[in-house]
Chain A
Amino acid sequence: MAIGVKVMERPEQGVSYVRATLKGMALTFKHLLQPRVTMEYPEVRSDDEWRIATRWRGTHRMLTDEQGRSKCVACGLCPQICPANCIKLVPGEDERGNRYPLIYEIDEFRCVFCGYCQEVCPEEAIHVGVHYENAEYSRDRFVYDHERLAAQSHPVSTLWDPTDPRGE
């Protein structure tokens, strides 16, 4: 035996491969007869035992006011706090002096879905969404512009609630 190889003594008297095999066979056969636990995804998306968490942070959504205008005032806080630098904001100002985003784009590929943009937003405009089906046919479709963000309709994340840390 090579130098430094520690040979463990095996507990030969206590173990039995025959019995372990039979035990395993019995166990797998029991599972064979048990009900299936798979949730069949495209047909079933949630049931009583499982639903997507309300604090889930998925692709963004821009909320709008009653007139259908974006709530964003182009304050620049979200691109400032964004750790992934994925928000592109060019502010503009209308004739009454109201600021609004000329360009507001989020690159969902760069985004790390931390949810800081939602936390920092003073107008509760930008939100991360409870949403996970994002497939597209090309990469450039993953840069969501302002119009598209405002057109999203999925529920928005509640984020983490410190008074209810386990989300119950």
Chain B
Amino acid sequence: MTPELKGFIFFSAIKMLVVFTTVLVGVALLTLMERKVAGWIQNRPGPNRVGPWGILQPAADGIKNFIKEETLPAGANRGLFLLAPALSFIPAVSLMAVVPLAAPLPVTVDWTLPLIGQLTWDGPMPMVVADLSIGFLFVLAISSLGVYGVALAGWSSNSKYSLLGGLRASAQMISYEVAMGLSLIPVLLLTGNVALSEVVTRQQEGLWFVGPLFISFFIFVISGFAETNRLPFDMPEAESELVAGYHAEYSAMKFSLFMIGEFAHIVTIAAMIATLYFGGWDIPFTTWDTQGGVLQTVLTFLAFFVKMFFWIFVVMWIRWTLPRFRYDQLMSLGWKVLLPIALAYIMVTAGTIWGIGQTLPEASPVMQSLVLLGLNVVLGWLLFYWLDRGRVVSGVGARTPVQLRVEA
């Protein structure tokens, strides 16, 4: 084994440890944050009994979940019942492996360690566990694996509520997977690459993709919410109809794994939105985030963290604002609205990029982005004009009473 390969394995292992430990601890704290946000939105203080400001609440919950009884329903398929929580937890966490967290850090080491021997690293160290060249294809592939955990949990529980929850979850996640995948194609068209580090670089050169690819961003956010199985799309665990849906029969740490999986999914979706549409670790309007150095890595990580945290907050904010969709509305939104729009938008974006290439072959990435931004302002206006039933401009600020037409 060459020293370079040893260095690669050594630093990969360190990155894995750091990232996944941070994600798991962060997920625990997110459960507290969710309850705090819920409390604040309802003019309550939220949990504040355990430790200062309730900061130890996740630890108390964890201890409780470890010492609770693990139940196994009669007639449950034991193997699958035990496997399902892991299947829904592992894909959600492993998605963080491909998200670039900060600007690459130049590292030069030539160490000789006991047991390992000589290891070297020379050059920029990508601040990502695995800088996969298949980038968000990996994200799409792994995030669809999450549906197995949910569907198997529902099926193996031997309970009608769980089964219905699992069925709903699989239908919902597969439907929105389609719109999500299609909404990422414009990103691919504009970047010319699926590697997430390339996507970030491209956004540094041009504009953040939220502007030039607004509609794709809109579809991605909606289908991302549906992928996390959270309100307003938490059909799989609609408690008024299905008790707790697919995890109704789970107790103790196995239930907790579903919970951790859900929150890890939130982190991943927030990280993906930040990376794909908000420039990743890019700090806008400055150039010193491309100059290298430790400080740059730290600051770009902070920039990424702020963006990700904002989207995590939005996910929670929406959860405590919107009611649940009806199931047929959910399906018709996915198949009849998002899918056609995503398909049409691919055509429009591809046509525009081709058009720019034909007419302005010398156009810089900023120029190209600005043209697309102009197009998206128009398209976004049209989309919201249609969604808002023809009132985007005229109705703003006016309070028109709803006229109910009662049939005789």
Tell me, yes or no, whether B405 is within 8 Å of chain A by CB.
Answer: yes
Residue pair A38, B388 in contact (C-beta under 8 Å): no
Known A-B contacts A11-B405, A13-B389, A15-B402; the reply to A36 vs B322 at CB < 8 A is no
Stretch at the interface among A23-31, A107-115, A131-139, A146-154: A23-31
Report B71-119 residues with CB < 8 Å from chain A CB.
none
CA distance in complex: A32, B44 (Å): 9
Tell me, yes or no, whether A35 is within 8 Å of chain B by CB.
Answer: yes
CA distance in complex: A116, B236 (Å): 52
Name B37's closest neighbour in chain A (CB-CB): A32
Residue pair B403, A24 in contact (C-beta under 8 Å): no
Residue pair A11, B403 in contact (C-beta under 8 Å): yes
CA distance in complex: A9, B403 (Å): 11
Tell me, yes or no, whether A67 is within 8 Å of chain B by CB.
Answer: no
Residue pair B43, A15 in contact (C-beta under 8 Å): no
Q: Which residues of B contact A25 (CB under 8 A)?
A: 317-318, 321
Name B319's closest neighbour in chain A (CB-CB): A28
Tell me, yes or no, whether A140 is within 8 Å of chain B by CB.
Answer: no
Tell me, yes or no, whether A34 is within 8 Å of chain B by CB.
Answer: yes
Tell me, yes or no, whether A50 is within 8 Å of chain B by CB.
Answer: no
Residue pair B41, A32 in contact (C-beta under 8 Å): yes
Q: How far is the CB of A74 from chain B (nearest CB, A)?
A: 47
Report how many residues on chain A are interfacial, defined by Cβ distance under 8 Å: 25
CA distance in complex: A27, B42 (Å): 11
Tell me, yes or no, whether B407 is within 8 Å of chain A by CB.
Answer: yes
Partner of A14, one of B42, B43, B402: B402
A residues within 8 Å of B by Cβ?
8-9, 11-19, 21, 24-25, 27-29, 31-32, 34-38, 40
Residue pair A17, B45 in contact (C-beta under 8 Å): no
Residue pair A12, B389 in contact (C-beta under 8 Å): yes
Q: Is the interface of A mostly helix, strand, loop or mixed?
A: loop
Known A-B contacts A13-B389, A14-B403; the reply to A24 vs B45 at CB < 8 A is no
B11-50 near A? 1/0 per residue, CB < 8 Å:
0000000000000000000000000010111111100100
Q: How far is the CB of A6 from chain B (nearest CB, A)?
A: 8
CA distance in complex: A6, B318 (Å): 33
Q: Which residues of A contact B45 (CB under 8 A)?
A: 36, 38, 40
B206-218 near A? 1/0 per residue, CB < 8 Å:
0000000000000
Residue pair B320, A9 in contact (C-beta under 8 Å): no
Q: Which residues of A contact B401 (CB under 8 A)?
A: 14
Residue pair A32, B40 in contact (C-beta under 8 Å): yes
11 other A-B residue contacts (CB within 8 Å) besides A14-B403, A32-B37, A32-B317: A11-B402, A17-B387, A18-B387, A19-B391, A28-B41, A31-B40, A31-B41, A36-B45, A37-B44, A38-B45, A40-B48
Q: Which residues of A contact B43 (CB under 8 A)?
A: 31, 34-38
Closest 6 CB pairs of A and B: A14-B402, A28-B321, A16-B388, A24-B321, A18-B388, A28-B41
CA distance in complex: A35, B403 (Å): 36
Tell me, yes or no, whether B400 is within 8 Å of chain A by CB.
Answer: yes
Residue pair A9, B405 in contact (C-beta under 8 Å): yes
Tell me, yes or no, whether B404 is within 8 Å of chain A by CB.
Answer: yes
Q: Can you list 27 A-B contacts (CB < 8 A)?
A: A9-B405, A11-B402, A11-B403, A13-B389, A14-B401, A14-B402, A14-B403, A15-B389, A16-B387, A16-B388, A16-B395, A17-B387, A18-B388, A24-B321, A27-B321, A31-B42, A31-B43, A32-B37, A34-B43, A35-B43, A36-B39, A36-B40, A36-B45, A37-B44, A38-B44, A40-B45, A40-B48
CA distance in complex: A34, B41 (Å): 8
Q: Which residues of B contact A28 (CB under 8 A)?
A: 41, 317, 320-321
Name B400's closest neighbour in chain A (CB-CB): A14
Q: How far is the CB of A163 from chain B (nearest CB, A)?
A: 37
CA distance in complex: A14, B403 (Å): 7
CA distance in complex: A28, B231 (Å): 15
Q: Which residues of A contact B395 (CB under 8 A)?
A: 16, 19
Partner of A11, one of B39, B48, B404: B404
Residue pair B387, A29 in contact (C-beta under 8 Å): no
Name B383's closest neighbour in chain A (CB-CB): A18
Q: Which residues of A contact B405 (CB under 8 A)?
A: 9, 11
Partner of B317, one of A29, A34, A38: A29
Q: Which residues of A contact B384 (CB under 8 A)?
A: 18
CA distance in complex: A166, B281 (Å): 62
Q: Which residues of A contact B320 (CB under 8 A)?
A: 28
Residue pair B403, A36 in contact (C-beta under 8 Å): no
CA distance in complex: A168, B44 (Å): 28
CA distance in complex: A21, B222 (Å): 13
Name A17's closest neighbour in chain B (CB-CB): B387
Residue pair B317, A16 in contact (C-beta under 8 Å): no
Q: How far is the CB of B144 from chain A (nearest CB, A)?
A: 27
Residue pair B389, A16 in contact (C-beta under 8 Å): yes
